[in-house]
Amino acid sequence: MGQRVAVIGSGVVGLSCASCLQMEGHAVTVIDPRPPGEYCSFGNAGCFSAASCVPLGLPGSWRKVPGWLMDPMGPLSIP
């Protein structure tokens, strides 16, 4: 049998790691005070931003797309 492993966080990454570890035969305990899929897994998961991050699913976001495409530092800039 594998080792006993603790995974901190029940988001997408934490549960994926726990699942893979279990399939490899390890005894896994997931530690998180919240239910699975909250916090980072809820909105823009995996989004790294130097300033701020607005969820793109907000109503009216599509109106900003032309400006974002033209802004060289915008979130949709094309290098």
Residue 78 has pLDDT above 80, yes or no: no
CB 68, CB 76: distance < 8 Å: yes
* Mean pLDDT confidence for 2-28: 93
CB 76, CB 69: distance < 8 Å: yes
Task: Give the global pTM.
Answer: 0.51
The predicted structure's pLDDT at residue 54: 61
52 falls in which pLDDT band (50, 70, 90)?
low
Residue 20 has pLDDT above 90, yes or no: yes
Per domain, the residue ranges of the chain are 1-46, 49-79
Contacts of 3 (CB under 8 A, 6+ apart): 26, 27
